[in-house]
Structure 1
Amino acid sequence: MNTVGGTMGESTGDSSGIAPPSVLEMDHAFDALAHPRRRYLLYTLRTDGTRTLWGLAKRIAAWEEDIPEETVDAGRTERVYVSLYHNHVPKLVDDGIVAFSDADETIEPASNAESVLAILDTIGGYEDTRQEDHAREEHGEGFS
């Protein structure tokens, strides 16, 4: 996985304060889950595995507006895309939660994804019912 504009890269575990890929401190996990867009991104990756950034942006825009994905206009999708590209995805990459490929702009779970998704599974249904409902509607009752 490559870097984007010098802001995204894989975690190194060095003295920069970034958690090593094999261990994610609780503060990093909860910080990763603090923003609704990052939670939506993680809900999607939990069931889909790998997604394009544009596809994620469109799905997240639809969920945020509570409208069908096919009705999201390109302008709204682009605003979410820019937010993901410059803010949310770099944070998740730095914490080793997702990996991003510049070549095809795909996002996939990384080494720390499982621990963050376990927290999301545990508390998501209690604190985040709207997002959990969107994910269930999209992926069916077998979602968990």
Structure 2
Amino acid sequence: MKASRHVAAAIPLAAVLYAAGRSPLEIALAASASVLIDVDHLADYVLCRGGWFGLRDFFQSCNEARLNRLYLVLHAWEWIILGGVAALAAGAPLPGMVVCGMAWHLVFDAIGNRGVVVPGFYWFFRRAGVGFDAARLYRDPSRIYA
């Protein structure tokens, strides 16, 4: 899903949390986490492209499914489960809101990218199991950079 859509998707998340009586700080954390989780795309881009070639190339490479490796270390249901359990066990609402925002993001990614990536893509160990090889993770690997 494109960055602009993730920013737009943070608005209903904030509205739901506001309606649930969450504090402004909790709302800000969840909404921010739902967008900032995408920072892991930067690392993948630099690793796969061998450097930085500008914002246009970055967005084109990511949005057009051209990277040959997909690590995306933050895009993983494993972190949602572990973080959620830890936040609940500790009774820590602020980390819980970060997990909430990340989960919100993954739900939208899983729906929006279901035609782009293989089932199970948003499990880190699924990606690791194929060596993070994009040719085995994209449904149509024909546009991957050589």
Q: Scaled by the length of structure 2, what TM-score is found?
A: 0.28
Structure (1 or 2) with the greater helix fraction: 2
Q: Which structure's CA Rg is the greater one?
A: 2
Q: Scaled by the length of structure 1, what TM-score is found?
A: 0.28
